[in-house]
Amino acid sequence: MKMFNLNCPRCKKYFYGDISMIKLKVPVHCPQCDGIIPFQEYSPCLNSSDGAVLARLREPLTEENMDRVLYIPAGK
């Protein structure tokens, strides 16, 4: 699985996520400040998309299933 590295534009702390989230332009969750960051806000802050991580998904992340696979709380 390809990963992206991100310094949160709000708290400036580092975290990573699945590169398919960038391709789908979905919001990401910063585990450091608990913020939900929209694509328009985090896209200028993206670092290189290198490295790999083991993860278990029952199906590939796509635009059609991202609402079922990703949890995005209302109001954040």
Q: Which residue has the higher pLDDT, 74 or 63?
A: 63
- Contacts of residue 75, defined as CB under 8 A and 6 or more positions apart, other chains included, come to none
All structural domains of the chain with their residue ranges: 3-69
Confidence (pTM): 0.59
- Contacts of residue 63, defined as CB under 8 A and 6 or more positions apart, other chains included, come to 24
Q: Which residue has the higher pLDDT, 72 or 17?
A: 17
Span 30-44, pLDDT tens digits: 999 999 999 999 888
Q: Is 62's pLDDT higher than 70?
A: yes
